[in-house]
Amino acid sequence: MEYRTEHDSMGEVRVECDKYWGAQTQRSFENFKIGSEKIPMEMIYAITMVKKACAVVNNKLNPGKMTKEKTAAIVSACDEILDGRLDAHFPLSVWQTGSGTQTNMNVNEVIANRGNEIAGEKILHPNDDVNMSQSSNDVFPSAIHMSFVLAVENNLLEKITELAKTFNRLEQENRNIIKIGRTHLMDATPVLFSQEISGWRSMVEKSKDMLVCALGFLRQLAIGGTATGTGVCSPIGFGKHVCVELSKIAGTHFEESDNKFYSLTSKDAIVFAHGALNALASDLWKIANDIRLLASGPRCGLGEITIPANEPGSSIMPGKVNPTQCESVTMVALQVQANNAAISMAASQGNFELNVFMPVIAYDCLNSIKLLSDVIRSFDKNCVSGIKANSFKMQENLENSLMLVTSLSPQIGYENAAKVAKYAYDNNVTLKEACIKLNILDDIQFDKIVRPENMVHGY
């Protein structure tokens, strides 16, 4: 392996010749060999967008220092990163400095070295040029916000929408099927299967609405605050101009934070937005549990629906098929909820002018978005889209339920209805037989009153 010598303010460091990073990246790479979690590429791309926008704005506001040649070299190097051509040059661990400074410098160094190569001469310095008018302290939180917004808009929202469409189709297909409802895991009054499905559909739709609402707070960026929020070493209005450029580059709206002191130290917008992911995860967990319970059996469970049999379910029991997609959803939901706890605790550590848990916040946020996007797609394709109602079993359970007695309450009173239900249960007879035996109603009166199709809506 051939090496070259790079230097920073602390001295010289050897770096492999085929790597574009410099001395500060190398020091971090050597000093933080912790775990296998790397700064996500979504963060690298977001930081790169910031660098590209800042170069353009610096050229407009200070063309004597950020020349056209320097700007062109930075922009070209940034475009290569954003095209995914330089992914191998960002090796740093999540478990580094809490400000993300080392990753900010990793991006600065790669852009500088590749930009110099593109220019054919050494015109770029990672700090003086690529990091001009910036600090890790405003770049990294801006990138967290951007990467969250872009990951949600470019991936997760589409998956949620598709799942809602699948539930809507299932509603239409099952709009005439009546089944027994359940509360507290016990028999309750009847519902239409389509009504039950509509609850699932609304869960994911409402979660999507909450998430879109939360993105509004993340569109406000810390850029322009530099080290402590004062904007020292940056031109007046720098953040506003950068956000205009970033909106063009990213293809979605971003704006300057109205208080940089807040934006550097507080991570409440991220907590709020991840809370929407947490709500989505909770709803998905509940839906997955409903589906696997309704599909339990096939002969000794509820068995009211069937779900696709995707793979063998047991290494010892032939013919067994398990609700594996549902189990995957619940594990992802658990991980998202764990991420939510970590992010909430990390956000509470904004001591004085800076939060120093930002790499783990970024990692956990993007991990949650990626997991939710993937599992929703898989759940939709491999489970939900193939749900079929077992109308025979639903009808059987409906007819056996004692909770049809609820429709008698307005006619015979709550206490008499309870007496009928108890007699039917104790003597293992139908509700009709109990009414006749107790001389409360005859069979004609019973059949006129107890009609499940009239119990799936109000009077």
pLDDT at 314: 86
Q: Is the pLDDT of residue 242 over 80?
A: yes
What's residue 350's pLDDT? 81
> Active-site residue numbers?
184, 314
Distance CA 83, CA 290 (A): 42
Q: pLDDT tens across 27-38, in order?
A: 999 999 999 999
What tens digit of pLDDT does each residue of 44-90 get?
Answer: 999 999 999 999 999 999 999 999 999 999 999 999 999 999 999 99
pLDDT band at 1 (very low <50, low <70, confident <90, very high): confident
- Rounded to an integer, what distance in angstroms lies between the CA atom of residue 443 and that of residue 311? 49
Which pTM does this prediction carry? 0.96
Whole-number CA gyration radius for the chain = 30
Please report the domains of the chain, with CATH numbers, ordered by start residue.
3-132 (1.10.275.10), 138-392 (1.20.200.10), 401-454 (1.10.40.30)
* Dihedral-angle region of residue 314 (phi above 0 means left; psi in -120 to 50 means alpha; beta otherwise): beta
pLDDT tens, residue by residue, 121-148: 999 999 999 999 999 999 999 999 999 9
Is the pLDDT reported for residue 271 higher than 90?
Answer: yes
User: Percent of the chain scored above 90 by pLDDT?
Assistant: 96
For the stretch 192-236, pLDDT in tens is 999 999 999 999 999 999 999 999 999 999 999 999 999 999 999
How do residues 394-417 score in pLDDT, each as one tens digit? 999 999 999 999 999 999 999 999
Q: What span, in angstroms and rounded, lies between the C-alpha atoms of 81 and 130? A: 14
pLDDT at 458: 85
- Assess whether pLDDT exceeds 80 at residue 459: no
Average pLDDT, the chain: 97
pLDDT at position 182 is 97
